[in-house]
Structure 1
């Protein structure tokens, strides 16, 4: 199976996702949209992952690739190919499915606990911690199943079309190096849901506990293709 990643910044790399795919015997390519690379065609991959990035996407050179990216997401939504969005990627999928994406009252940065929704269609624990870097929120698109909520966000993500499409605000792909890159490249705005670098990176075991969360998520997402 071949996966394509859409990447929006140097720091928002596939991280643990790349290791998971390699370990499972799959191949992948990365399209670095922020370097003006042309998005792939649907025929170039079996499944698509839209990674995180600066929020919101705006201005200048970004505008052209942002439009092409949205067109590709729309085509994949209308196809039968799996689509996964994380962070900014989740926002873009939510928008294409008709949800309103708006600035959050407070950013959600660092480690936060997600409580699984009773209707969640994914095999996730009742509660689990995710690393977050989120400044916007979105509503639940019509026809989608909620994943869960955190103290700062009532909609942490959703699944659609029997888990073929998954959007998640948090980052199960995070590693210590990935998280450090976020703090180095972005400004952590102070607020009740902001955890600064020293505290976030001091909890190393939490990164290890993301591995089974990512494994459950990916297996559910790619279930039909893997079978």
Structure 2
């Protein structure tokens, strides 16, 4: 039985469709609500670490002091050769833990926008992927990592470090209800810019939900094979 720690940072930003992938496999899942000051586990308490999204920025340690301990534990998990998957804020936290700069992008990217694959190692990723992006920050590429995708306004939509650590800016875990949950987290009206879709476009997503789940499950299959090989 492999143990999975899930770091959740906001209501509605849990593992989404991933729960179906884990359901029929020998995993024990434990969720830690860092935004509610749940105590962090030790690195010995998990085999996998899933780091989910949230409305905060990884560099906003003044308002969210628990980010300091979280990034330290991510560093320890990387050094301990754990399996890590970071999504949106989670990807930025992995980048920061590896010493890279995380900073505000030129504009927000919110919507179902094409992401172009740039590295053949991302075997799980289809060439025509159009996932849900919902972020205002981006990151510089950490040392010894490989970027695998970009979009028009985001230079790196993700990277991998070794074979068992993947960081994704976009949300492959989406399922029915995810967009509504994300909209509920927005504290301000959505900006009217070229890369922020309106609500009706965001909701018209049946095809993208299916494609995202297929890609999400394919990536989890890759991580499962790699973690099972040791």
Fold in common (TM above 0.5): yes
- For the residues of structure 1 that align with 2:143 and 2:131, how far apart are their CA atoms? 25
C-alpha contact 1:108 1:132 (8 A) present in aligned 2: yes
Q: Aligned pair 1:183/2:164, yes or no?
A: no
Match runs of 1:103-122 below 5 Å: 103-122=104-123
1-10 vs 203-212, greater mean Cα deviation: 203-212
- For the residues of structure 1 that align with 2:94 and 2:126, how far apart are their CA atoms? 24
C-alpha contact 1:120 1:146 (8 A) present in aligned 2: no
How much does 1:56 deviate?
A: 1.2
**Divergent runs of 4+, >4 A:** none
Match runs of 1:192-203 below 5 Å: 192-203=194-205
Partner of 1:125: 126
1:83-123 Cα distance to aligned partner (Å, 9 max, x none): 11100010011111122111011101011111111354443
Q: Secondary structure at the match of 2:114?
A: strand
1:183-208 Cα distance to aligned partner (Å, 9 max, x none): 12214332111012211111222111
Change (3 A) 1:208 1:123: closer
C-alpha contact 2:50 2:84 (8 A) present in aligned 1: yes
How much does 1:78 deviate?
A: 0.8
- For the residues of structure 1 that align with 2:174 and 2:227, how far apart are their CA atoms? 24
Q: Secondary structure at the match of 2:113?
A: strand
Q: Secondary structure at the match of 1:95?
A: helix
C-alpha contact 1:3 1:28 (8 A) present in aligned 2: yes
Q: How many residues are paired up? A: 225
Q: Unmatched 5+ residue regions in structure 2?
A: none
